[in-house]
Amino acid sequence: MTPKGLREFIALLEGKGHLKQIDKEVDWNLEAGAISRRGCELKLPALLFNKLKDYPAGYRLMANPLATFPRLALAMGLSEDTSYTELVDQYLERSTTMIKPIQVKNGPCKEEIIQGDDVDILKFPVPLIHEGDGGRYMGTWHLVVTRDPDSDWVNWGMYRQMVLDKISMGGIMVPFQHGPMQYYQKYEARGNPMPFATCIGVDPLSTLAACNPVEYGVNEVEVAGGLRGEPIELVKCETSDLLVPANAEIIIEGEVLPEERRDEGPFGEYTGYMAGGRAPRPVYRVKAITHRKNPILTMSNMGVPIDDCDISNSIGFGARLTGELRKKGFPIRGSVCIIPQCSLFVAVVSVKVPYAGIAHQIASTIWADKAGVFTPYVVICDEDVDSSNMDEVMHAIATKCHPAKGIMIFPQSTGNPLYPFSDAHERTYAKAPKCLLDCTWPVDWPKEDIPRKVSFDVCYPSEIKERVLRNWSSYGIE
Ligand SMILES: Cc1cc2nc3c(=O)[nH]c(=O)nc-3n(C[C@H](O)[C@H](O)[C@H](O)COP(=O)(O)O)c2cc1C
Ligand SMILES: [Mn+2]
């Protein structure tokens, strides 16, 4: 069983000691941001702010929903101590067993319907999250629904949305992302407005499906159904034919007009920096808002690790890339690990090396994938290294990656405009280099040239190891 909506998830987290309610009045202007940022950095429970300054009681704000692995495990209906590798395996299995949604006539998200002159996004306690943010961000833990005009492909993606005024939001639309692709290549190219629906406060696995990549043309709502193990219930928007999760707390409906741009950003980002600047970007024009009574707005507080993005994408990217490598038959051990402390920049793979050059093949497969666009570093280790064990990975990088031969740089590739290490030109054109760290022993070395590892596992005869393990408690050490 997985939570059907945000309120069920909140109850589940609270019951397990993974959520704290804050009744003291908190300011939406940086105070909620500062508390939730500290909450990420100290790995504290998720937070539910019950009273925000300038807003009536009942207009609540939830922060840091999935900012720890135990919370993600609970969202998936698993025990809170589920290991990284098991989470990735579960995600992979369920996300590839897709379940189609069902349409329902009505739902809690329609309890209040606002249209016309009454529309005001700032009806909700939208936080100013970091000092220096270009504005108050409505969309930091949400999903944006858009449809391909030529097929029945409906995309869900999590793309940040900043309040411009009471009926407009701006957002960074990176051209290789699916929603933006539909906008630039189809709607705007043909001079048409693109209908959208921003859904806030949905069940945690729907959000997870939206912020993780699947192939072009795949409906994330079916992935969400797979993750949940039951169909997602959808209800029709008031002003378009788009369908949205019936259980959502808040739905914002509208259109992105062709050729319209207004300044958006900067924003404190998942990279741990405020990068990407302020620039003219597409505008989400709001036509209607529907919401539950006593709506709960949700936010993530991206910045230095570990926050919701590091956790959610490390599992989702890890699962996707593991699936891609297994499909191609690479003999990998366990799963691909997206190191959560590295803001998604580093993918680690452990492999039994059968022939020369496999590190390059694996890295190419990763970089060809949508998730791989976010991982400029790929680290390949021999199979004695557990890719999710940072003690082992760090040691392998430091000792087995030849500084001249083991580091391979691919200078021209697709990047992310938010990369802190990119110069202004690279950021503008979303290009960046990629780097492969090959930490495997060369296959053309004679066996006797390979240094023997000094570890309990490797450098004691099995007879001694067995004796020591058998007698362990009798030594009185622990
Ligand atoms: C908290 C959070 C915020 C994100 N914000 C953005 C964003 O503003 N722009 C963007 O392109 N991707 C953003 N992403 C990543 C995308 O949601 C992710 O790449 C997803 O796969 C996009 O959907 P798509 O593959 O259908 O394009 C964010 C992810 C998270 C977890
Ligand atoms: Mn997509």
Ligand 1 contact via 66 beta carbon (within 6 Å): no
Centroid of ligand 2 to alpha carbon of 409 (angstroms): 29
Residue 145 C-alpha to ligand 2 middle, in angstroms? 10
- Band the pLDDT of 376: cuts 50, 70, 90: very high
The one-letter code for the residue type at 58 is: G
Q: Which band of pLDDT confidence, cut at 50, 70 and 90, is reported for residue 311?
A: very high
- Show me where the domains of the chain are located: 75-120+130-292, 328-449
- Predicted pLDDT of residue 235: 98
Ligand nearest to C-alpha 370: 1
Q: Which amino acid is at 401?
A: C
> How confident is residue 428, by pLDDT bands cut at 50, 70 and 90?
confident
Residue 174 Cβ < 6 Å to ligand 1: yes
Ligand nearest to the backbone CA of 216: 2
What are the pLDDT digits (tens) for 322-368? 999 999 999 999 999 999 999 999 999 999 999 999 999 999 999 99
3-class secondary structure per residue, the chain: CCCCCHHHHHHHHHHCCCEEEECCCECCECHHHHHHHHHHHCCCCEEEECCECCCCCCCEEEECCCCCHHHHHHHCCCCCCCCHHHHHHHHHHHHCCCCCCEECCCCHHHCEEEEHHHCCHHHCCCCECCCCCCCCEEECCEEEEEECCCCCCEEEECCCEEEEECCEEECCCCCCCHHHHHHHHHHHHHCCCEEEEEEECCCHHHHHHHCCCCCCCCCHHHHHHHHHCCCCEEEECCCCCCEEECCCCEEEEEEEEEEEEEEECCEECCCCCEECCCEEEEEEEEEEEEECCCCEEEECCCCCCCCHHHHHHHHHHHHHHHHHHHHCCCCEEEEEEECHHHCCCEEEEEECCCCCCHHHHHHHHHHHCCHHHHCCEEEEEECCCCCCCHHHHHHHHHHHCCCCCCEEEEEEEECCCCCCCCCHHHHHCCEEEEEEEEECCCCCCCHHHCCCCCCCCCCCCHHHHHHHHHCHHHHCCC
Cα-trace Rg, the chain? 24
CA of 356 to the centre of ligand 2 (A): 35
- What residue's CA is closest to ligand 1, atom 20? 211
Q: How far is the CA of 453 from the centre of ligand 2 (A)?
A: 44
Q: Is 313 in the pocket of ligand 1 (CB under 6 A)?
A: yes
Residue to mutate, 211, 370, 427, ligand 1, most ligand atoms under 8 Å from C-beta:
211
234 close to ligand 1 (CB < 6 Angstrom): no
Shortest-distance ligand to the CA of residue 162: 1
How far apart are alpha carbons 473 and 475 in whole angstroms? 5
Say if ligand 1 is within 6 A of residue 155 CB: yes
Q: Which of 159, 309, 311 to mutate to test the pocket of ligand 1 (most atoms within 8 A of CB)?
A: 159
Question: Topology of domain 75-120+130-292, per CATH?
Answer: Pnp Oxidase; Chain A (2.30.110)
| Atom number, ligand 1, closest to the C-alpha of residue 220 | 26
CA 425 to chain centre: 26
- What is the C-alpha to C-alpha distance for residues 385 and 6, in angstroms, rounded to an integer? 38
Q: For 337, phi and psi rounded to 5 degrees?
A: -110, 125
Contact 28, 272 (CB under 8 A): no
| Whole-angstrom distance, CA of residue 48 vs CA of residue 10 | 8
Per-residue pLDDT tens digits for 139-178: 999 999 999 999 999 999 999 999 999 999 999 998 889 9
Does residue 298's CB lie within 6 angstroms of at least one atom of ligand 1?
no
Q: Evaluate: CB of 159 within 6 angstroms of ligand 1.
A: yes
Q: What is the pLDDT of residues 236-265, one digit of tens each?
A: 999 999 999 999 999 999 999 999 999 999
Q: Report how far residue 10's alpha carbon sits from residue 204's, in angstroms, rounded to the nearest whole number.
A: 10
**Centre of ligand 2 from the C-alpha of residue 314, in Å:** 17
Is pLDDT at 275 greater than 80 in this prediction?
A: no
Is 300 a pocket residue for ligand 1 (Cβ < 6 Å)?
yes
Pairing mode of beta strands 431-439, 377-382: parallel
Looking at the predicted structure, is the pLDDT value of residue 1 above 90? no
Residues 369, 75: Cα–Cα separation, whole Å: 26
**Which of 142, 316, 148 shows the shortest CA–CA distance to 217?**
148
Peptide bond into 306 cis (omega under 30): yes
Peptide bond into 65 cis (omega under 30): no
CA of 147 to the centre of ligand 2 (A): 10
Nearest atom within ligand 1 for CA of residue 300: 1
According to DSSP, the β-strands at 194-200 and 102-103 are unpaired
Percentage of residues in the chain with pLDDT exceeding 90? 96
How confident is the model at residue 374, as a pLDDT?
Answer: 94
Class of the CATH-defined domain 328-449:
alpha beta
Minimum-distance ligand 1 atom for the alpha carbon of 155: 26
Rounded Cα gap, residues 429 and 36, in angstroms: 33
Report the pLDDT value the prediction gives residue 430, as an integer from 0 to 100. 87
For residue 180, report the distance from its CA to the centre of ligand 1, in Å.
Answer: 11
Q: Is the CB of 158 under 6 A from ligand 1?
A: yes
Identify the band that residue 392 occupies on the pLDDT scale cut at 50, 70 and 90: very high
- How many residues can be counted in the chain? 478
Q: Which residues, at least 6 apart from 395, have a Cβ–Cβ distance to it below 8 Å?
A: none
Atom of ligand 1 nearest to the CA of 173: 11
For residue 178 the two structure tokens come to: 């699916």
The phi and psi torsions of 323 (rounded to 5 degrees) equal: -60, -45
pLDDT digits (tens, 9 = 90+) for 42-88: 999 999 999 999 999 999 999 999 999 999 999 999 999 999 999 99
145 lines ligand 1 (CB under 6 A): no
| Sole residue written with tokens 């043909």 | 190
